[in-house]
């Protein structure tokens, strides 16, 4: 049996969410409806179910204003605020601005009791890479939605990767 651990959501400027599995795109429920689902998901693939612990979002953003890509303090504070609002416990925060020996940009990491969230930016290219990994009851989609709304990020690709997958046989 073949399993696809990544689910890719492409969010275009018209706010449409698309779920791509194999080569057939399908419409997705909006994030508000996805939040209602528990972090332990069952996905049916043929005769098996997939069960996992933890949800990991890998998020690529394009067309981000240069000043936002350089604002390490704002990015870190936004991640921490969104994590707290999503029900996570912030343990630590750190940020760093690049530019002396490397291209301009920054990175910020917020360590959570439930795992972590981070951002890495490339200011000259208008790129941001977010990483949101949560376990337990904290929904990374809710956290990301708050970050995205606060920072007004438009051009986004989200890869959703369940962690610690366990494959069990489906009940007949």
92 is catalytic: no
Q: Identify the active-site residue in 61, 115, 118, 141.
A: 115
Pick from 172, 165, 167, 160: which is nearest to 52 by CA?
165
Q: Identify the active-site residue in 61, 120, 141, 145.
A: 120
Q: What percent of the chain is helix, strand and coil (3-state, nearest 5)?
A: 20, 45, 35
Q: What is the pLDDT of residues 102-119, one digit of tens each?
A: 899 999 999 999 999 999
What does each of the 172 residues of the chain score in pLDDT, given as a tens digit?
Answer: 333 444 444 444 444 444 443 333 444 444 433 433 333 233 333 334 455 678 899 999 999 999 999 999 999 999 999 999 999 999 999 999 997 888 999 999 999 999 999 999 999 999 999 999 998 888 999 999 999 999 999 999 999 888 776 665 544 4
120 is catalytic: yes
Structural domains for the chain = 7-37+54-162 (3.60.90.10)
Beta bridge partners of 111: 92, 116
117 is catalytic: no
């Amino acid at each position: 049996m073949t399993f696809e651990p990544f689910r890719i959501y492409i969010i275009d400027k018209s706010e449409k969410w698309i779920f791509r599995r194999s080569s057939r795109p399908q419409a997705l429920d909006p994030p508000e409806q996805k939040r209602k689902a528990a972090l332990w998901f069952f996905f049916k693939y043929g005769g098996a179910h997939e069960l996992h612990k933890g949800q990991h979002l890998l998020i690529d953003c394009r067309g981000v204003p240069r000043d936002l890509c350089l604002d390490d303090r704002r990015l870190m504070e936004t991640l921490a605020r969104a994590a707290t609002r999503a029900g996570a416990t912030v343990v630590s925060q750190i940020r760093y601005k690049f530019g002396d020996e490397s291209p301009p940009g920054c990175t910020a990491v917020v360590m959570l009791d439930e795992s972590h969230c981070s951002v890495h930016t490339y200011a000259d290219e208008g790129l941001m890479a977010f990483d949101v990994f949560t376990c337990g009851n904290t929904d990374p989609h809710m956290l990301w939605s708050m970050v995205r709304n606060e920072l007004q990020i438009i051009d986004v690709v989200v890869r959703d990767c369940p962690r610690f997958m366990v494959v069990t046989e489906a009940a007949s």
